[in-house]
A = this chain, B = another copy of it.
Amino acid sequence: MDVRAGAGVCCGASVDCERCVVRPIAVCGALGREHMAEIATIAAERRLAAGQAVFDEGEIADSVFTLTSGMLKLYKTTRDGRRQITGFLLPGDFLGISFDRNYVYSAEAIVGSTVCRFGRRPFTALLERHPQLEHSLLGRALTELAAAQEQLLLLGRKSARERVASFLLGLCRRLGVIEGGRVQLLMSRGDIADFIGTRVETVSRVLGALSRGGVISMPSSHDVVIASWRRLQQEAGP
């Protein structure tokens, strides 16, 4: 499959998409700027405080969103309180796209965030008018699928130490952090644990061990400096 013009491209969190009241940057990236006016008519900005839900698993899926600033977590919960975070979203990412009637996961802001809401019907209509947008969405879905499969490998076959290292590595890659750079862990230890399938205590211990081993350093509990990219890769396992 070829990546057609615009597919998978995203303006990036820091780019202002013209003088749009809403900033549906992901859609902007996929469709190109010529359709900004059209997009603006069906989109509405929504501000979210840290901890605020976008939607919950099981709700009627009547909206589609793109994250325009901040960070979200997507997760599934069981009746008895177990939780699995399936991903952390960065600006430009979509959420809530589904052919089902209901959302199959919950979404919640980790820090103050803004999303851009599209009604499901107008969004569907937009897709029908612009097949290249649907092509772009397919590309995104396939990328997410590949990421999920990578995470399956992590959860199914990696040790706690490898999981934490892999998590850090993945976060750095997405954020463009390089050796010597700093990653801000906006999420809590509990969130990390629920993402990599461990307990908070284990996350804490492994981070401590990596820090003591000189692989990383932690100026504060939510700031990680990558001391050695190579060693972190080794820790992340094969």
Q: Contact residues of A with B, CB < 8 Å?
A: 1-3, 7-8, 64, 76, 78-80, 82-84, 86, 97-100, 104-105, 120, 123-124, 127, 131, 134-135, 137-139, 141-146, 148-153, 155-157, 194, 196-197, 237-238
**Could you jot down 30 A-B contacts, CB within 8 Å?**
A1-B98, A1-B120, A1-B124, A1-B127, A2-B99, A8-B99, A76-B153, A79-B238, A84-B149, A84-B153, A84-B156, A97-B142, A98-B142, A99-B142, A100-B146, A104-B146, A104-B149, A127-B135, A134-B134, A134-B135, A141-B145, A145-B145, A148-B148, A148-B152, A152-B152, A155-B155, A155-B156, A155-B197, A156-B194, A156-B197
A104 to chain B, nearest CB (A): 5
* Assembly stoichiometry (copies): 2
